[in-house]
Chains A and B, each alone.
Chain A
Amino acid sequence: MKVELTANSTFSFGTTRGASETARFVADQLEQGLRRLLGSYSLGLAPRRTFEQLQALADECRAPGWDGYGALPVAPQTVRQAMHFSEALPLGTAAPSVGAEPDGQVTLEWYRSPRRTLSVSISPEGEIHYAALLGSSKAYGTEPFFGDVPRVVLQLIHRVGSDERRNQADNSER
């Protein structure tokens, strides 16, 4: 069977919601399976790091003016949304680095170089604002977050990461 791994098939497990006991059973089994995988060192390290960074950020940015210029505090609700978003990232996704913006939104960044980077802002209401530099191309916009990472964001994460792998392959051939 042909296997194609694209940004559209990066092992996300968003499901159509069911109401029956059996739907709940399937969801529980899936979550247990994911937890077992995340319990491993190799697959669980990235999500654990992100969670730890988010917890540290919540402490550091609790007070107003944390940036020296009058920034709004990062609210607990915003940190929870960011954790929820991180949990929704497909297994094996590169771990982002965590930051914050003066309006109190949490940022998750995937970075390869100054012109190969994606920044995602998460609002307490669950809006996702993103901006990406991809060489001479750029992409930016807003998507609602309903529990699954928006496809456009997954594609951008993949693009930021894939060029790194292509660069590595190019370098190894020299």
Chain B
Amino acid sequence: MGQRAKLKIDASEEFERLPRAPIIEAVIEIRAQAEAPWEEGDIQERLKPKLPDYPKVVSKGAFRQQLKIEPGSVEQSYRDLGWKGLWFQSADDRQIAQFNRESFVVSRLYPYESWEQFNKEALRLWRMHVQLANPTQVQRLGVRFINRMPLVKGKQLKFYLASPPNTPRKLKLTLNGFFHQDKLSVPGHPYAVNITRTLLPPEEPGTQDAALILDVDVFSEEPFELRNGALERRLAEMRLLKNRAFFGSITHKALESFR
């Protein structure tokens, strides 16, 4: 098979701003091993004063639970794998920042405002993480946007999706659910894009419509050093890929409903 030409990525490319964008979570995850000591008491003492706008703090540990079932016996074991990090949440619960030994994660929940605000806040918090953890290399970088589109009664999936799921030819069946994940590599770049589409059932039967989830996860597993603006540059490129994936996955009609 021949190689594809390198995909052109122009981070300054502009996209339509959607006042009613269906984003319910925007995530930036930076996986980088802490190279400074990472002790709960010390980290909490140093972080809390810097984050007055994130008053809810939860300490996170890692544990492994194992259930072993054999004829005549059931064994359950629980192992504490130690303290992992701190989870800070804003007073309105919309902004979540996770400071972990192996990673840093920022989530913005609904309502999402803009990339500029989200990215700016993420980098502000990231710089705090760097001061504490002193990582020098990023192992994995992810930009993930999860969209939730309520399904309007009478509208089929092809109203929303550019490539809706299909039932087999010559077999007219009713679609009750689906989970479709595409993994796409970006020619000439260290990025991959996972596009997941699935149906979210109503929380309680008969209470509200189901929703369509369009989950775009752009990530890179190529390690890179933290210098010369490499992180900021990659985030900008990944944001562009995320936007292209989103706008390319939905129909023009669906787009109108987000304006």
Contact = CB atoms under 8 A, between A and B. Distances in A.
* Direct contact between the two chains A and B in their complex (CB within 8 A): yes
B89 to A, nearest CB: 9
A6 B213 CA distance: 28
B1 A4 contact: yes
Given A17-B105, A151-B222, A8 B139 contact: no
A26 to B, nearest CB: 5
B27 A146 contact: no
B153 interface: no
A18 to B, nearest CB: 5
B179 interface: yes
Interface in B82-130: 96, 98, 102-103, 105, 107, 109
A113 B221 CA distance: 30
A16 B196 CA distance: 12
B64 A80 contact: yes
A8 B192 contact: yes
A22 interface: yes
A26 B109 contact: no
Contacts of B31: 146
Given A23-B146, A144-B139, A18 B1 contact: no
Given A8-B192, A22-B24, A22-B25, A16 B143 contact: yes
Interface residues of B, number: 41
Given A13-B181, A16-B29, A19-B25, A26 B198 contact: yes
A20 B106 CA distance: 11
Contacts of B79: 77, 80
A23 B98 CA distance: 15
A4 B105 CA distance: 31
A52 B184 CA distance: 33
A97 interface: no
A166 interface: no
Contact of A25 (B102, B109, B200, B219): B200
Nearest to A151: B221
A16 B219 contact: yes
B144 interface: yes
A22 B212 CA distance: 11
Q: Give the most central of B33, B140, B179, B192: most A CB within 10 Å.
A: B140
A8 B179 contact: no
B29 A17 contact: yes
B259 interface: no
A148 interface: yes
Contacts of A2: 1, 4
A143 B66 CA distance: 26
Contacts of A143: 139
Contacts of B66: 80
Contact of A17 (B27, B109, B222): B27
Contacts of A29: 179, 198
16 contacts: A9-B183, A9-B185, A16-B144, A17-B27, A17-B142, A18-B25, A18-B144, A19-B96, A19-B105, A22-B148, A23-B27, A29-B179, A80-B79, A146-B140, A148-B221, A151-B221
Interface of A: 2, 4, 6, 8-9, 11-20, 22-23, 25-26, 29-30, 33, 77, 80, 143-144, 146, 148, 150-151
